Structure 1
Amino acid sequence: MSVWWRPDRLAWWTGLLFAVGSLLFLFPGIAALADVDARWVGAGFALGSVFFTSAALLQLIAASEVPHRARPAHERRALRPRAWLPQRVDWLAAAIQFPGTVLFNVNTFAALDRALTAGQADVRVWGPDMIGSACFLAASLLAFANSEHRWLSWRPRDVDWQIAAANLLGSIAFGASAIAAFVRPATGTAVNDAIANGGTALGALCFLIGAVLLPLQADRQQRAGAAAPAPAGD
C-alpha cells in the first residue's frame, strides 16, 4: 500500500486534517493580503480552525497510545483516548497544542462578528489568538527539542527534524501574526495588517509542509519497529 494512502493509520488522518486546516488558513491569509472580501476570508479561518482542532485531538490520542501499544499484546486494552503522561515530551507537546487549537476556534468564530468594537475584538479575538499562538509555540519548541533531544540542532535530511522545524517556524509566524493583529483602541485598526495576514499565510504554509511529511514519518517509524529485534523470551 502506498505511503500516501494509509487510512488505516492514525498519523495519516492527522496529517490529512492538518493539511486541510493549513490550506484553509493559507488561501484566506493570502487573500487578506490582497484586501479581498473579508467575509469568506473569516469563514475560511473559522473552518480551518475546526480541522486544526480535530487533527490536534488525534495527535493527543496518538501520544496517549504510544506507551500503551508498547506493552505485550495480552496486556493491551481497546483505544485509550485519554491519559496523563507529563513525563513524555510528545504527550506534553500534544496536550499543550490541543487547547491552543480550541482557542483558535474561539477567536476565528468570534471574528465573524463584524460589529465588534475595538475593545471587544481585543478580548474575544486577539486574546484567544495570542494565547493559542503561545500554546503552539511552546508545543513546537518541545517537539523540536525532542526530535534530536537538544534545543538546537541541524538535521535537514531527517524527516523528524523537518517536521519539527516546519512546525516551529509556523508557530513563530503565527505568533508574529497574533502580535500584529492587536487592535488599537484609539483608532480601531490593527497594529499591522500586512504582518498579521502574511504571518498567518506563512505559518499555514509551514504547517502544511509538516502535515505532508507526517505519512513519511509514520511509515519510517513502522519500518523501524518491524525491524527491531523481539525482546528475549517472546
Structure 2
Amino acid sequence: MSAAARRANTWIGLLFAVGSICFVLGPFPGFVQRVGSSADGITFFVGSVFFTSASFLQLATTRLTGGGALDRWAAAIQFAGTLFFNLSTFEAMQDALDTSATDRLVWAPDAFGSVCFLVSSALAYRSVNGSFGRRRHRGGAMRIAVVNLIGSVAFGISAVASFVVPATGDVLDLAAANFMTAIGAAGFLAGAILLMPAVSSRRPS
C-alpha cells in the first residue's frame, strides 16, 4: 500500500471512529439522563457529520486505496446512507432542542440510511469474499467487512425497533432500538480501528 493510501485510510478510520463513538454514546444507558436530550441530539448529529466526512473521503480515494468496481459502488451507496443519517439526526436534534424529556427515543437509524448501509456492507463483503464463498482476501480486509456488516445489520434492526406504532404513538421497542444502535456503532468502531494502517499492520493475516 502506498504512503498516500495509508494516509487516506488513517483519516477515514479516524473520522469513522469519532462518529462511531458518538453513536455509541448517544443511546448508551444513562447518557441522555446525564447530559439531557439536547446534548444527546447534538451528539447524534455530530456523529453523522463525521460519518459523512469519512464516507466522502472513502468514496474519493477508492481507486487510490486499491478498490475495484464493487468497492466504488459500496462507497457511493454508503455515502448516500450517511446523507440520510444527516437528515434524520438533524431532525432528531431539532426535536431534542425543543423538549427536555429524557424518557424517549432521541434517535435511531432511519430506514433509508439503514438500507443503504446494509447494501453497502453486503457489496463490500462480496468484494472481499469473492464469488461462491471463495475468499479473495483474508486477514484485515475480511475482518473489516464482517464487523461492518454486523454493524449495518444492527442498525437495520434498530430501525425496525424504532418504528412508531400508529395506534399508540409509541416506539415498537425503545430498549432494543437503543441497544442495537449502540451495537451497530460498536461494530463500525471496530471496523474503523482495523482500517487504520498502524493497527492493521500489527495484526497477523
Q: How high is the TM-score relative to the length of structure 1?
A: 0.71
Amino acid at match of 2:88: N
Letter in 1 for 2:25: F
Q: Give the superposition deviation at 1:152.
A: 4.4
How far off its partner does 1:161 sit? 0.5
How do residues 94-113 of structure 1 correspond to structure 2 at under 5 angstroms? Answer: 94-113=75-94
Aligned partners of 2:12, 2:70: CA distance in 1, in Å?
Answer: 18
2:162 maps to 1:178: no
| Structure with larger Rg | 1
Alignment match, 2:194 = 213
Q: Is the 8 A contact 1:181 1:193 kept in 2?
A: yes
2:182 pairs with 1:201: yes
2:71 to 86, 90, 93: 90
Look up the match of 2:27. 29
Q: How far apart are residue 43 of structure 1 and its match?
A: 1.3
Cα distance, 1:213 vs. partner?
Answer: 0.6
Unpaired stretches in structure 1, ≥5 consecutive residues: 1-5, 68-84, 117-124, 221-234
2:145 aligns to what? 164
Is the CA contact (8 Å cut-off) linking 2:128 and 2:135 kept in structure 1?
no
- One-letter amino acid of the structure 1 residue matched with residue 69 of structure 2: R
Question: CA offset at residue 63 of structure 1?
Answer: 1.2
The amino acid of 2:80's aligned partner reads P
Structure 2 unaligned segments of length 5 or more: list them. Answer: 100-106
Contact 2:25 2:31 in 1 (8 A): no
- Residue 52 of structure 2 corresponds to which residue in structure 1? 53
Contact 2:26–2:32 (8 Å) recurs in 1: no
Tell me the distance in 2 between the aligned counterparts of 1:208 and 1:194.
21
CA distance in 2, matches of 1:146, 1:30: 33
> Which amino acid in 1 is paired with 2:39?
W
Q: Alignment partner of 2:119: what SS?
A: helix
Q: Is the 8 A contact 2:144 2:194 kept in 1?
A: yes
Code of the aligned partner of 2:117: F
Q: Between Structure 1 and Structure 2, how many residues are aligned? A: 188
1:150 Cα deviation after fit: 3.3
Matched residue of 2:87: which SS? helix
- With structure 2 as the length reference, what TM-score do the two structures score? 0.80
How many angstroms does 1:201 deviate by?
Answer: 0.2
- Answer yes or no: is 1:9 the counterpart of 2:7: yes
Q: Distance in 1 between matches of 2:137 and 2:31?
A: 31
Task: Report the 3-state secondary structure (helix = DSSP H, G, I; strand = E; otherwise coil) of the residue aligned with 1:147.
Answer: helix
Distance, in Å, in 1 between the alignment partners of 2:183 and 2:176 is 10
Shift of 1:96: 0.6
- AA partner of residue 43 (structure 1): I
TM-aligned CA deviation for residue 219 of structure 1? 6.6
In 2, distance between residues paired with 1:211 and 1:201?
15
Structure 1 vs Structure 2: percent identity of aligned residues?
Answer: 43
Instruction: Return the letter of the residue paired with 2:59.
Output: L
Aligned mates of 2:132, 2:189 — CA distance in 1: 23
Q: Distance in 2 between matches of 1:151 and 1:203?
A: 27
Give the Cα–Cα distance (whole angstroms) in 1 for the partners of residues 145 and 5 of structure 2.
23
Give the 4+ runs in structure 1 shifted more than 6 A: 153-157
- Give CA-to-partner distance per residue, 1:100-148, whole Å, 9 cap, x none: 00000000110123369xxxxxxxx87x811100000000001011112
What code does the residue aligned with 1:12 have?
T
- Secondary structure at 1:187's aligned position in 2? coil
